Structure 1
């Protein structure tokens, strides 16, 4: 079968498909059977009368009722509209995406108020960030940059990904428990949006339903994401594919249909730009590469326009001008804030050796993380050879890989499209390896690191696996779509009377959904859902600034607890350790000695809280919990020691 498909089955559209009972004549007036190679079969007769005869035959053969001669009442029309909406492809796709996300993350939905995915490290930090955003937007929006943690440092909100795009949800947070609920709902939602966004993009590009569903599942539940379950900002990739789908739809573009001027939709273009800005505002780690992707697409589209001069509506140009300007200004504003932090805290910059430690190796993309239920144990020996397995085990999925390789050879996409997709995958692979690629990445990642603004802020190049997964998903969807097209072609060719367009039986198309089972099987996790520790003290009653000991990696718990009242705390965990924070930790090493108490007082610390249960194995393991320093009031509870350094 050729590269081109029957016009209805292979036409690229994100519109709601008509029900199967809708007669073909209502959608496609011309004869539907394509010749092998993609050319349409010749029409029977010429002129309007012959077309009308053909339509009558399609209507008669399809069993269509004659059109109503009177206009239905308002309530009847509303009822019909609601029924159509309930049966629409996009309602069903949205519902399936949510149900699938709930199932793949179960039983988290049963424990929204008490557990958190993966671990109590970064997830608690991100929960705290959400809590801070909600609190400060209600109380003092201009003070968002200076958090209560990392006292007394400025711009601490920018020390890690900001999750600013989740501000509407963050406004619902009023306590640590509500923050946990919001985080968990967003966590589940990231998978749902990734599936729905990828499905929308693939449908817009021209893939059939089964191919789009399987590929979307492969994108949303790729095995490498299991190792990133503690990083909400990495899982939040749905905005990327959704923005691309909106922009493609707004411009009337698909891989199978090319550019269709009559399908330009300025509203979708504007929505695409705003969605792209929302995606960037969640975090710069995924946002920076996304900006460069959009820039690259813009250059290609611009060159194509100069060469071909396709007809563009003024509304399309206006939507791009307005949306692109808002996107650019928003990105520059956020980037400028991060640049201020980079200048103020030189220790935040990552050198090549540091990045190399976290970068993938040649084998990384076929090694599963330990959280993988299917492949985790089998790949344990391979992970042992990695320097930092949580960021280097990047298996995209063997099912996806097999379908994508098949799609390079046999697909609904054209030969040149497959070549460009293969080149794109190769480029992403090279850049994602960072300094571990050929010649230390000197002609791939290193070029971006040296010359592309913002690229030096990316600590883990391997997270670009998201784009490799997306490209492979497009290739995989092409494979399954080609099979569906062939099945319909065979079914139609087998008919004696070919005037009525037919498809392969539904049970045949249902078989094309079978790979989704393998995809989801590879996406199963063994990672636990951890119980969140309760605060050992009443945080809202503490007189700040407060220092919790031991300090370090466990500070994420302190930040989470501080949602209760947001007292100033010197503790904090981020992508780097500020020198001033390291200095305060150093002062506290001898606590509660007189010298340590005096140094902390001079630094401005009012209260020190010691957690005896966390001291073993820490740098403060030898801390004397029985000592009563002179001039310090000590309150002892079952879980904490509270030192008031300025009691007198």
Structure 2
């Protein structure tokens, strides 16, 4: 049987085809050039009369088209859209933080200026003397002065850009906004990984990032910087192929994601132990429970253990070691501080002062637009004239209602809802500190968990309460989204109506509305020109906690060594020298300054806070062996050692 031929296989006009074997031996082959089509003699199409009707061959896309297509797909990917949304929402919710970022700072000009200095010092030390990073230019001659409070060391890359107070303010304002964006994005990613629908994940992100209690913490960037916590948990869950909706799926495990999660967790620890230490204990607890569950299943055959994988085990081991190493290296200088200053440990009486009652979870700070004024009487009744900065812990009534609904109707399984509810109770109880069950639970942690006694503000544990409540709310919204999808399955196309889709995002708007703030964004005092003439070590007067925080910011132009310093911990030597400086210049104050190597004393004519020593601006200092130099904004006394 012969094979059938196609139209293109037949010779033109039924003429017999001539082959090399049919040509006489003495006949020369045709000139190849004559058979080669040229522009003058186009290719003969008579071989296939229908060929000109054939479609042109599809050209494969070039490199530029492939790159443009890949970029376009990346820009409209869910994670890209979530990141863009997080940035836009953060800029809007924190406005006007980015309106005049070179001159203003959120909330007040005290703690935020200290933290702007912390980021600047980290960048400066990494590039000049990395091994001496813990001995900062403040609190001279104290050692390990950078560890007197949470350091924000993980933000050191930002400190590498620019110099001086203006650059310090700019980077602080940018990081301030990005901290909210990362908190939203991280919580969104975690909820999505656990199985939430997009509207539910958006509710979880909005609740975690913009709960009203956060605005009272706006002067504490180390507390606001909690996005690494939820992003770490999301990456670890993704790396291990785990979700609430589907459980553990080993075929979806990704060791690289697990390793990335551990690295993000290590970065979070580097920002400070105030919220980083509880996070470390949570991760340790998850790891221990996971190992026990897996080993028990394998030993006692309660269920067929699913494969884990050596690559994933290696990623967890390497990532866990990096996390632990960062934690230990960060902890060493703090233990050194405790060795030098044992009184730096927080007393249980101090913890009791900052412990909020349960009504704190239903009280908003005064900066909240929706509830701030309405809760003014409650704040005054509960906390008196000393304020309520660490005790107003309102997460949001809208998300409270959604979380309550999520206990009854949710996409999460019943036991997952029970665990989330238990997490709410436990974390809220710990956030109440000594106000919960007479302090018996909190005091156990205070006495036995390493480092826990250094936490003076238990209310900041509300971060975990916020996360659990947000996930409960996400479960409820996701259940409604699932139901809407089922009801519209018969539609063409099979997707919910646009109005129904938009309605699913109304809870997000409600949660965000409760988080709208009305903070102050004061202008930071300009650096006195006289500071440029200090050689250091120097003393700037007046010296007190608040004024020194501004002085630290001003010192970012050159980082002159100085006695001044403000932080969460004040050594007794600092209190003593401040007391002596109230009578500067006199014999006792000058001798003290000379004994610790101080060369210059700058007396500010217009300090940010505090009173100038009575005789400092008029004395000539000659009787104490000093020379005086006058400037428009201050007077410098050179001790002439």
TM-score normalized by the length of structure 1: 0.85
Corresponding residue for 1:363?
359
Q: Tell me the CA shift for residue 501 of structure 1.
A: 8.4
Q: Tell me the CA shift for residue 74 of structure 1.
A: 4.2
Corresponding residue for 2:321?
325
* Contact 2:363–2:392 (8 Å) recurs in 1: yes
1:448 equivalent to 2:445? Answer: yes
How far apart in 2 are the matches of 1:77 and 1:139? 44
Corresponding residue for 1:505?
497
Q: Tell me the CA shift for residue 312 of structure 1.
A: 0.8
How far apart in 2 are the matches of 1:484 and 1:391? 37
Corresponding residue for 1:636?
630
Which of 69, 76, 86 does residue 80 from structure 1 map onto? 69
How far apart in 1 are the matches of 2:416 and 2:149? 38
How far apart in 2 are the matches of 1:512 and 1:615? 49
Q: Tell me the CA shift for residue 590 of structure 1.
A: 1.5
How far apart in 2 are the matches of 1:82 and 1:532? 41
Corresponding residue for 2:275?
286
Corresponding residue for 2:523?
531
Q: How has the CA–CA distance of structure 1 residues 617 and 110 changed in structure 2, closer, same or farther, with 3 Å as cutoff?
A: closer
Deviations 1:232-279 (A, max 9, x none): 111101100000000000000000000001000000000000000000
For structure 2, the residue ranges without an aligned partner over 5 or more in a row are 1-56, 298-304
Over 6 Å off, 4+ runs:
68-71
How far apart in 2 are the matches of 1:408 and 1:189? 32
Corresponding residue for 2:309?
313
How far apart in 2 are the matches of 1:538 and 1:622? 20
How far apart in 1 are the matches of 2:234 and 2:600? 52
Corresponding residue for 1:297?
286
* Contact 2:626–2:639 (8 Å) recurs in 1: yes
Which of 204, 211, 214 does residue 215 from structure 1 map onto? 204
1:392 equivalent to 2:391? Answer: yes
SS at match of 2:540: strand
* Contact 2:525–2:608 (8 Å) recurs in 1: no
Corresponding residue for 1:547?
539
* Contact 1:273–1:327 (8 Å) recurs in 2: yes
How far apart in 2 are the matches of 1:113 and 1:335? 33
* Contact 1:544–1:568 (8 Å) recurs in 2: yes
* Contact 2:147–2:334 (8 Å) recurs in 1: yes
Q: How has the CA–CA distance of structure 1 residues 349 and 616 changed in structure 2, closer, same or farther, with 3 Å as cutoff?
A: closer
Corresponding residue for 1:166?
155
Corresponding residue for 2:334?
338
1:30-109 matches, within 5 Å, as: 73-109=62-98
Q: Tell me the CA shift for residue 575 of structure 1.
A: 1.0
How far apart in 1 are the matches of 2:433 and 2:221? 22
* Contact 1:592–1:627 (8 Å) recurs in 2: yes
Corresponding residue for 1:13?
none
Corresponding residue for 1:606?
599
How far apart in 2 are the matches of 1:181 and 1:528? 17
SS at match of 1:147: coil
Corresponding residue for 2:371?
375
How far apart in 2 are the matches of 1:407 and 1:566? 53
For structure 1, the residue ranges without an aligned partner over 5 or more in a row are 1-67
1:557-568 matches, within 5 Å, as: 557-568=550-561
Q: Tell me the CA shift for residue 415 of structure 1.
A: 0.9
Q: Tell me the CA shift for residue 79 of structure 1.
A: 3.3
Q: Which one is further off, 474-483 or 620-629?
A: 620-629
SS at match of 1:392: coil
Deviations 1:97-136 (A, max 9, x none): 1111111111221211111111111110011111111111
* Contact 2:134–2:333 (8 Å) recurs in 1: no
* Contact 1:540–1:567 (8 Å) recurs in 2: no
Corresponding residue for 2:6?
none
Q: Which one is further off, 85-94 or 595-604?
A: 595-604
Q: Tell me the CA shift for residue 82 of structure 1.
A: 2.2
Deviations 1:153-193 (A, max 9, x none): 00101111111111111111322211111111111100111
SS at match of 2:628: strand
1:487 equivalent to 2:481? Answer: no
Q: Tell me the CA shift for residue 409 of structure 1.
A: 1.2
How far apart in 2 are the matches of 1:179 and 1:251? 40
Q: Tell me the CA shift for residue 624 of structure 1.
A: 5.2
How far apart in 1 are the matches of 2:343 and 2:141? 17
SS at match of 1:192: helix
Q: How has the CA–CA distance of structure 1 residues 601 and 434 changed in structure 2, closer, same or farther, with 3 Å as cutoff?
A: same
SS at match of 1:98: helix
Corresponding residue for 1:583?
576
Deviations 1:452-484 (A, max 9, x none): 111111111100111100000000101110111
How far apart in 2 are the matches of 1:90 and 1:158? 37
SS at match of 1:116: coil
SS at match of 2:629: strand
The two structures, once aligned, show a CA RMSD in angstroms of: 1.9
Q: Which one is further off, 300-309 or 69-78?
A: 69-78
How far apart in 2 are the matches of 1:371 and 1:621? 36
TM-score normalized by the length of structure 2: 0.86
Q: Tell me the CA shift for residue 80 of structure 1.
A: 2.8
